[in-house]
C-alpha cells in the first residue's frame, strides 16, 4: 500500500520543503552541534571563488609538495 502524506498549504507556501528520513535528520542535528556554520563576507566569498578557479586551472600544489618546498 502506498502511504500518502498531506502537507498543509500554509506550510508548503512558506518555504521549499525537503523530505528526509528521521535517521538522516537526526544525523544532521548531531553534526550541526559539532560543525560551526560560518557566514562569509563579500571579500571572503571572492577569495574562495578565485581559489577554486586557480585549483581548476591547475595553479595549485599539494600540501606535501608545499611542505617539501619549505623543507618541513
Secondary structure string (H, E, C) spanning the chain: CCCCCCCCHHHHHHCCCCCCCHHHHHHHHHHHHHCCCCCCCHHHHHHHHHHHHHHHCCCCCCHHHHHHHHCC
Sign of CA dihedral 41, 47, 48, 50: positive
pLDDT, tens only, 16-72 = 777 888 899 999 999 989 988 889 999 999 999 999 999 999 999 999 999 999 998
Give the residue, 57 or 11, on which the prediction is more confident. 57
Q: What's residue 1's pLDDT? A: 67
| Domains of the chain, residue spans | 37-72
| DSSP 8-state secondary structure symbol assigned to residue 36 | P
Q: What's residue 12's pLDDT? A: 72
Amino acid at each position: 500500500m502506498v502511504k500518502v502524506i498531506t502537507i498543509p498549504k500554509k506550510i508548503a507556501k512558506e518555504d521549499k520543503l525537503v523530505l528526509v528520513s528521521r535517521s538522516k535528520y537526526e544525523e544532521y542535528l548531531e553534526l550541526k552541534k559539532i560543525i560551526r556554520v560560518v557566514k562569509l563576507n563579500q571579500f571572503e566569498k571572492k577569495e574562495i571563488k578565485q581559489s577554486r578557479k586557480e585549483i581548476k586551472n591547475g595553479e595549485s600544489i599539494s600540501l606535501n609538495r608545499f611542505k617539501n618546498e619549505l623543507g618541513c
